[in-house]
Structure 1
Amino acid sequence: MPIKAICFDADGVLVYPQMQFAKLCENKLGISQEMRDPFFKGVFNECLVGKAELLDVLPPFLKKWNWSGSTEEFVALWQKTDHVIDTELITTIKKLRQNGFICCLATSQEQHRAEYMKKEMGFLEVFDHLFISCEMGTQKPGDAYYRYIETHLRLPGESILFWDDRPRNVNAAKARGWNAEVYTNYEQFLETLALYQPFK
């Protein structure tokens, strides 16, 4: 069955190189991964599915991290630092759309970064559809995430090609019958894309 829709993850795919804010925390702000883990492996996951508000749950952690500014300033710094876009990939996505492919953002984000991606990073104009976990109530690699996209696009999994930098997310997509590839870099993306569809 021919590919009709292509879904792209954000961090590690469109946002590349990723983890810039994590590096800033580690190297400049003195907030180690060990200090960050209780937040990112805990209540942040509630933010990712729209069940918690980032600005409400972040302050207690900022206090532990000895952040002297406001919560809003921390979030703004976070968003600005991770505003790193692979412009070559964006250009290719625009060409894919011109060639008739439905191109979608498929990412796990909390509400504030979701809005930042739409407006400041321009993803609202880049894609036909934006599938963002906080608006869906589910996140990768949960089966419900992929099922939601299939239902919205009205396409079977065999017609969808999914790109993500995390193997577990790719494997979950494959389990639903999607075509799915682990993204490593732009050159690998073009080479693999050509195997699915000759692209000029």
Structure 2
Amino acid sequence: MQPQAVIFDIGNVLIEWQPERYYDRIMGPERRRAMFAEVDLHAMNDAVDRGENFRQKIYDTAESYPEWRDEIRMWHDNWLELATPEIPQSVALLRSLRATGVPVFALTNFGIGTFEIAEPAYPFLSEFDRRYISGYMGVIKPDAEIFAMVEADCGLPPASLLFTDDRADNIAAAAARGWQVHLFEGPEGWAQCLAHHGLLEANAA
């Protein structure tokens, strides 16, 4: 089926999301590995992505690990440095799709507080036809509920949705609902996928 809408993940598709890289830079790889081994920072971030208060969740976690308190607080205080830079070729593909009239949605694990930081820093985040932000929805990928919520809201058949995400578990969850999917490993491959579906020219990226 010809896709009737294209759905982008945001982290590591449109914006690089590499907390480990940030912490390697500010504390060194060895100490960073020790902190990440002791503190489940990604689970902490998942709670934010489900809608918990950004500052409170990070600061509460920091208080539970006094040895790492200052570093954990940086997840909040310096968050934009963890989510950078944008991926220009992907942004160009988003804009090319919209210019040709293809509806483009976002489906992303993103907190309420973090999205409020990201949106003014990355103007293209306001350019989607529809945005499905997990923090506002109260559920995160790869939970089947979030995909069902997208289907119910947009009213399009699952088989007509083309979705890209950098995580295989999210891709598998979407495919299980009948979505067309592409595992994002770089904008060049994504451009080829869009060309294969007749949505953009092959050299769009």
TM-score computed with the length of structure 2 as normaliser:
0.85
**2:86 matched residue in structure 1:** 85
RMSD: 2.2
In the alignment, which residue of structure 2 is the partner of 1:27? 25
Distance 1:198 1:24 in 2: 36
- After superposition, residues 33-182 of structure 1 pair within 5 angstroms as 33-36=33-36, 38-50=39-51, 52-62=52-62, 63-67=66-70, 71=73, 74-182=75-183
* 1:198 positional shift: 4.7
1:32 aligned partner, one-letter code: R
Which segments of 5 or more consecutive residues in structure 2 lack a partner in the other structure?
none
Please give the alpha-carbon distance, in whole angstroms, between the structure 1 residues aligned to 2:46 and 2:75.
18
Q: Alpha-carbon deviation of 1:138?
A: 0.8
In structure 1, C-alpha distance between the alignment counterparts of 2:75 and 2:166, rounded to whole Å: 26
Question: How many pairs were matched up?
Answer: 195
Contact 1:163 1:180 survives alignment (8 Å): yes
Runs of 4+ in 1 over 4 A off after TM superposition: none
The TM-score with structure 1 as length reference comes to: 0.87
The CA distance in 2 between the partners of 1:74 and 1:171, in whole Å, is: 29
Aligned residues with identical type, % of pairs: 23
Task: Please state whether the residue corresponding to 1:6 is helix, strand or coil.
Answer: strand
Structure with the bigger percentage of helix: 2
Residues 104 and 198 of structure 1: is their aligned pair in 2 closer, same or farther, counting only changes over 3 Å? closer
8 Å CA contact 1:90, 1:126 repeated in 2: no
CA distance in 2, matches of 1:139, 1:83: 21
Residues in 2 aligned to 1:184 and 1:124: alpha-carbon distance in whole angstroms: 20
